[in-house]
Amino acid sequence: MGRSPCCEKAHTNKGAWTKEEDDRLIAYIRAHGEGCWRSLPKAAGLLRCGKSCRLRWINYLRPDLKRGNFTEEEDELIIKLHSLLGNKWSLIAGRLPGRTDNEIKNYWNTHIRRKLLSRGIDPATHRPLNDSSHHNQVQEPAPTMSFAPKQEEEVFQEVKDSKSPTSERCPDLNLELTISPPHQAQEALKTSVGRGLCFACSLGLQNSKDCSCGDNGNTSTATGYDFLGLKTTVLDYRS
């Protein structure tokens, strides 16, 4: 099926953005809002393709970007999320306010990969590098991931729907742990997340807005569910 090119390549600039281009894009989006990326360049007087404008705005010009170094907490959160979701950078970015998928992807490839390797952990599988049980068919659940019974199938479905490359690349990475009988899930939650703390607290992010401990006392229900943003609105920079 033929696909029309995203833009008239012959008349578009490429490469690094100039200050003037940035200013034009910012001014246009301030006045008209995001969206209609295909028609935006012409309307804004930019010789760029819509995709390029979108990327520039999302990854660099958005006012709510955090920028700066990643904190240790963010590092650990990214590692945890990657162990569950694989290279779903946009999903991971959705749980890190002010961070973009591109930024996280770059950070993963340049910093975290090396960090995990130095710990003797395979960044692709999140298993010890010399773990011979890697190829076993029967797996133990990952130690820290568990979901409340009520929502676990939804969570599993989301991961499954995402056609996680992790599960294809690493069939041993046990995503099945999300569909355990209720009592197992509860027990796993108590032991792995720790004394009924929510996932955010288990990562040391007490009092963060992702903390669901205090919601309604039903900590175990809120945890994994909320963790993937299925109960609460997934953080969305576009909103």
Q: Which residues would be at the binding site for DNA (CB under 7 A)? A: 1-4, 6, 9, 13-17, 35-38, 48, 50-52, 54-56, 59-60, 87-91, 101-103, 105-107, 109-111, 114, 163, 165, 238
Q: Which is nearer to DNA, 34 or 131 (CB)?
A: 34
Nearest distance from residue 54's CB to DNA, in Å?
A: 6
Q: Cβ contacts of residue 17 below 8 Å, gap of 6+?
A: 56, 60
Q: Which is nearer to DNA, 55 or 213 (CB)?
A: 55
CA distance 48 to 13: 5
Q: Which is nearer to DNA, 16 or 31 (CB)?
A: 16
Report the b/e string of 128-146 with b at 16+ CB within 10 A: eeeeeeeeeeebebbebbb
3-state helix, strand, coil in the chain (%, to 5): 50, 0, 50
Q: Which is nearer to DNA, 24 or 48 (CB)?
A: 48
Q: Which is nearer to DNA, 10 or 138 (CB)?
A: 10
Length of the chain, please?
Answer: 239
Q: Which two tokens stand for residue 204?
A: 């040391």
Question: Reduced to 3 states, what is the DSSP secondary structure of residue 121?
Answer: strand
Nearest distance from residue 12's CB to DNA, in Å?
A: 8
CA distance 141 to 144: 8
**Which one-letter DSSP state was computed for residue 128?**
E
Nearest distance from residue 100's CB to DNA, in Å?
A: 8
Nearest distance from residue 40's CB to DNA, in Å?
A: 8
Nearest distance from residue 78's CB to DNA, in Å?
A: 13
